[in-house]
Amino acid sequence: MAVVWSQRTGDNLHEVRTAGKSVRLYTNGVFHSQWNPNRLLTRSVWDSLMISAFFVAPALLRRVLVLGVGGGVVIKQLNELFPTVEEIVGIELDPMHIKIAKKWFEIGKSDATLIQADAREWLYAYDGPKFDLIIDDLFGDTDGEVARAVAVDKNWAAHLCKHLSSAGVLTVNFIGKSELRNSGLYRCKPFKRRYCFTPPFCDNAVSVFSKNDTTIGQWKQRINDHPAFTTAQKKALLGDPRQSF
């Protein structure tokens, strides 16, 4: 793997590394994003975030909010899979991540509206239309280890729910199931269904909170019916461990 670009800004070292066609973003040595333009799936946490979109009926998936852009991998996937989505808004604290997302991960203006802001401050002040899918992937690093940047306490959970449409889906990336169980969302009442996905090769608990009645069977059918996936890709997506809670 080759370092093709790096820059230190204050205490932060940002690097872009490549291996073949794959592009990776590292900040302070912590791995944040990976994208290969020839491969729709990453076989990692971003796939688990992306597949939560299939819990929204295709006709109702119009507005998406991504909190924590990184390199913009989920945005790339959503654009390729859901071309009828009207708007994707990405909120990212680190201005360098936005620059990298645009230059190295090729996130264009037609892909998403990228906003450099603190996600908490932005969401607390937001007073616009609600979102059909909200993805909370807010992570930073502590002593060289990945860590959530915003604790999912009851206050943050309430603000996330406030801006979700009546049949919307909220997806939150937790470090593990213990973090999920201790969150303000674990027993949150507005949701009809809850699912937890365990991505390959990591201990994350990607948790889906749905205001609609989409079942696992319907979710599977939507994935199976999507023309962008090969048979092998469908098998991989549907084979990842998951459970309701």
pLDDT score for 21: 96
Range of the domain at 141: 41-244
Residue 145 has pLDDT above 90, yes or no: no
Q: What percent of the chain has pLDDT over 90?
A: 93
Q: List the Cα angle 241/133/35 in 5-degree steps.
A: 65
C-alpha R_g of the chain: 17
3-state secondary structure 203-233: CCEEEEEECCCCCHHHHHHHHHHCCCCCHHH
Structural domain count of the chain: 1
Residue 131 domain-assigned?
yes
Per residue in 57-110, pLDDT tens?
A: 999 999 999 999 999 999 999 999 999 999 999 999 999 999 999 999 999 999
Distance CA 119, CA 237 (A): 29
Task: Please give the pLDDT value at position 218.
Answer: 98
**Mean predicted lDDT score pLDDT of the chain:** 96
Half-sphere exposure of 81 (CA within 13 A, CB side): 24
Here the CATH number for the domain that contains residue 49 is 3.40.50.150
Q: How far apart, in Å, are the Cα atoms of 188 and each of 99, 134, 156, 194, 209? A: 36, 16, 12, 10, 9
Per-residue model confidence (pLDDT) at position 142: 84
- Whether residue 50 has pLDDT greater than 90: yes
What confidence tier does 165 reach under pLDDT thresholds 50, 70, 90? very high
User: Which 3 state secondary structure label does DSSP give 41?
Assistant: coil
Q: For residue 23, is it within any domain?
A: no
Residue 44 has what pLDDT? 95
Residue 194 lies in a domain: yes
Q: Which residues pair with 174 in a beta bridge?
A: 205
Cβ neighbour number for residue 203 with a 10 Å cutoff: 11
How far is the C-alpha of 155 from the C-alpha of 127, rounded, in Å? 17
d(CA 55, CA 51): 8
pLDDT on residue 138: 98
Please give the angle made by the CA atoms of 29, 171 and 71, to the nearest 5 degrees. Answer: 35
Q: In this predicted structure, what is the pLDDT of residue 143?
A: 83
With respect to residue 176, please indicate whether it lies within any of the assigned structural domains. Answer: yes
